[in-house]
Amino acid sequence: MSNEFKYFTYEEFNCQETGNNAMSIAFIHRLDELREKCGFPFTITSGYRDRTHSVEAKKKKVGQHVLGIAADIAVADGNQKYVIIKNAMEMGFGGIGVANTFIHVDDRKSVPVVWSY
Ligand SMILES: [Zn+2]
């Protein structure tokens, strides 16, 4: 699978604390499709995270960012949240987290969930 994307560079998903990157290429292709459907620019505020990342180190279970199948997308307003959530659900993203300033999407294999922060 190509690591050329329409809307993203692979480096945008580097761990912000270590610079490492083990993001799933397939997942970024799905984000490309989500971005296309949404029709507005995405700023990725968090992509891949090493297990040692300060957020992940506190968790008992390995998080979706550590698995390379999660991203946080900055949002400017409630309409952007709505559009991302609608399209992410239609595309079958199994994890959707709704924060004030971003939407988390992931491709978890377990039962689908939505949460707020
Ligand atoms: Zn996240």
Q: How far apart, in whole angstroms, are the C-alpha atoms of residue 63 and residue 110?
A: 12
Query: Which listed CATH number (3.30.450.40, 1.20.1440.230, 1.10.10.10, 3.30.1380.10) goes with 10-116?
Result: 3.30.1380.10
Say what the alpha-carbon torsion angle 62, 65, 95, 71 is, to the nearest 10 degrees: 170
Centre of ligand 1 to C-alpha 109, Å, is 15
- pLDDT recorded at residue 3: 82
Centre of ligand 1 to C-alpha 1, Å, is 24
Q: What is the pLDDT of residues 31-88, one digit of tens each?
A: 999 999 999 999 999 999 999 999 999 999 999 999 999 999 999 999 999 999 999 9
Question: Per-residue pLDDT averaged across 2-16, rounded?
Answer: 94
Q: What is the pLDDT of residues 96-117, one digit of tens each?
A: 999 999 999 999 999 999 999 9
Asked whether the whole model's pTM tops 0.85, one would answer yes
